[in-house]
Amino acid sequence: MCRIVGWVHKEKEPLFFVEALCLTRYLAREGKLPPKAQEPPEGELRHGDGIGYAIYTGKDFRIDRRGKDEWYDPQFWMQAMDLRGYAGIFHTRRATDKSKVGRDHAHPIVLKDDQGVFLAVVHNGSVRYGDLHDNQTDTQRWIEEVLGNSVQREQVADPNAILRRITQWVQGSGISFTSLTSLWLTEHWLLALRYLPNDAPEDYSNYYTLYYAEEKHACKIASEVPPWEEERKIWKPLSNREYCLIQWTEPGKDIQCQTGQLP
């Protein structure tokens, strides 16, 4: 139960992610509350149980995650504002299990090998496992089950492979969930997926939303449309089981943005 943001720059030179970070910070404070949730105590954020990002610089990934007690850490925000890159995903968390709000529980979830990080994932939703390990979150286990314990870099080079694995997990796991809405980032593409159960109640559909916008300088993804009025008209909603795939041949070049629908 979180808010997620994705950004792909179309410029030849790497750029700062100030706008994406400002939107993430806004959604932490003002974003929609989950169904049946109450306002947090005064002074707390609606989605302030963790914060994190993954930014692709054109050469490698820069990852940072913080728990609830570190959400306002000025070092985190100064470093994030100073980073330049071509693509990034951002996550501000509202934990399902309030005992798991440390740095180890924050998003993004990353996969890496001896060459470094090759996949980063952020998720908005709950997967209803009944037997999680003491320090494990539902998202961590879900990604392990979708990808397998020994997934290799080449196995996730194709975004369609991710979509197939998610579909297979839904069909074969028998595990209920509120939403599998998520962003998946590699060095060549960003995949945004909105996925709710077929019988999701209306309040779920109103909360687990995902929007995309394509502009001259960037392709953007967010849980909610930004509040600044001049931008609202360019954002389009993803329907249930619809995805938005943003691909590039080289960082900042030949950016392709397309949508599709899962069965």
Q: How does DSSP assign 107-174, residue by residue?
A: SPEEEEETTEEEEEEEEES-B--S---TT--HHHHHHHHHH-TT--GGGGSSHHHHHHHHHHHHHHH-
What pLDDT does 4 receive? Answer: 98
Backbone angles phi, psi at 123, to 5 degrees: -140, 140
Give the separation between CA 145 and CA 262, rounded to whole angstroms: 19
What pLDDT does 263 receive? Answer: 86
**Cα separations in angstroms, 28 against 33, 56, 77:** 10, 23, 14
Going from N- to C-terminal start, the domains of the chain cover 2-261
Give the separation between CA 170 and CA 60, rounded to whole angstroms: 32
Give the separation between CA 107 and CA 251, rounded to whole angstroms: 24
- Over residues 9-51, the pLDDT tens digits come to 999 899 999 999 999 999 999 999 998 899 999 889 999 999 9
What pLDDT does 102 receive? Answer: 95
- Over residues 111-145, the pLDDT tens digits come to 999 999 999 999 999 999 988 888 899 999 999 99
pLDDT band at 229 (very low <50, low <70, confident <90, very high): low
Percent of the chain with pLDDT strictly greater than 90 = 83
Domain 2-261 in CATH 3.60.20.10? The answer is yes
pTM score: 0.96
Give the separation between CA 50 and CA 37, rounded to whole angstroms: 18
